[in-house]
Amino acid sequence: MSVAPMQHITLVCAPFAGAGASFYHPWRTLAGDRVRVVGLELAGRERRLLEEPHRDVHEAAKASLESVLSAAEDDAPLVLFGHSVGAVLMYELAHLLSARDSGRLKRLFVSGSPGPWTQRTRRATGLADDEFFARVEEFAGFRHEALDHPEMRDLILPALRADCEMHENYWPSTDEPLSIPIFSVRGSTDELATPEQAQEWRDATVSEFGFTEMAGGHMYLADHAHELLRLIEAVSFGETTEDRRPVAAQSAAASEKS
């Protein structure tokens, strides 16, 4: 029996704290023809501004299940991507999808995140506004321009707080590993996820595990979207390790020396 070669994948992407699906909008054109990018829109931001943001990863995952399933409607294999809190959210979603036995979920990419059993020790939850923003900026290693605008800050704050709370209080729903491959990526100078921590995801799957680094800090993906997407495409379509590792490893090595 022959298996038809995979034509394309649907890549559903979960954003980091405070962000909305619009972060992944540019990925739609940056991604190759074989990758259809869909941003996950969570409650409390952008189009869903009036809704209460979720404060619990498991609730957020359950609430997002239907929209992920409808994003996957076109029968293409489904690949999930999540950065930082988005990583653990997508991990929980992967478990939910596996339980549904849809069989369409092929792979999970996690970014900027220690394994699911490693709790965040540095907390921003509960701090007063100014301290909270300062702490978050410290974590992320960057300051979003939008936060300089007081009205925008106020608009983003509830979702940002809720995301931090859900990330800092997260504990995995199960100790059972996934049966689909996991690939973990980090920025080479990310202080929120050391190389060892980023590779903890190995224990979260009984299938293949892959890991690589790209130049940059926690928010490396803002500057390296194109490379990241090439990586995701190559790994998803089973193109050889040698093809992609040198590109990523070189740029990581170069930045560490400089």
Active site positions, annotated: 84
Closest to 185 in 3D by CA, of 203, 205, 211? 211
Please tell me the count of residues contacting other proteins according to CB under 8 A: 20
The nearest distance, CB 225 to other proteins, in angstroms, is: 14
CB of 22 to other proteins, least distance (A): 4
Cβ 29 to other proteins shortest distance, Å: 9
Answer yes or no whether residue 152 interacts with other proteins by CB under 8 A: yes
Per CB under 8 A, the segment of 43-51, 64-72, 174-182, 193-201 that binds other proteins is 43-51
Of 42-50, 77-85, 107-115, 188-196, the window that binds other proteins (rule: CB under 8 A) is: 42-50
Residue choice 12, 14, 20, 61 for contact with other proteins (CB under 8 A): 20
Residues in a beta bridge with 205: 178
List 8, 48, 104, 135, residue binding other proteins (CB under 8 A): 48
Among 6, 7, 32, 49, binds other proteins (CB under 8 A): 49
Strand 35-39 versus strand 9-14 pairing type: parallel
- Sign of the alpha-carbon dihedral angle for 87, 92, 98, 102: negative
In sequence order, the 6+-apart residues with CB closer than 8 A to the CB of 170 are 57, 85, 88, 116, 119, 120
177 contacts 206 by C-beta, under 8 angstroms? yes
Segment 88 to 147, residues that bind other proteins, using CB under 8 A: 144-146
Identified binder of other proteins from the candidate list 12, 13, 23, 186, rule CB under 8 A? 23
User: Which residue among 7, 22, 102, 119 contacts other proteins (CB under 8 A)?
Assistant: 22
User: Can you tell me which of 21, 57, 185, 252 binds other proteins, judged by CB under 8 A?
Assistant: 21
Chain position carrying tokens 């998803």 = 236
* Contact assessment for residue 107 and residue 79, using Cβ atoms and an 8 Å cutoff: yes
Closest listed residue to residue 81, CA positions, set 225, 199, 203: 225
CB 251 within 8 A of CB 141: no
Contact status: 51 vs other proteins (CB under 8 A): yes
* Residue 225 and residue 211 in contact, taking contact as beta carbons nearer than 8 Å: no
| Residues lying near other proteins in the complex (CB under 8 A) | 20-23, 25-26, 46-51, 144-146, 149, 151-152, 155-156
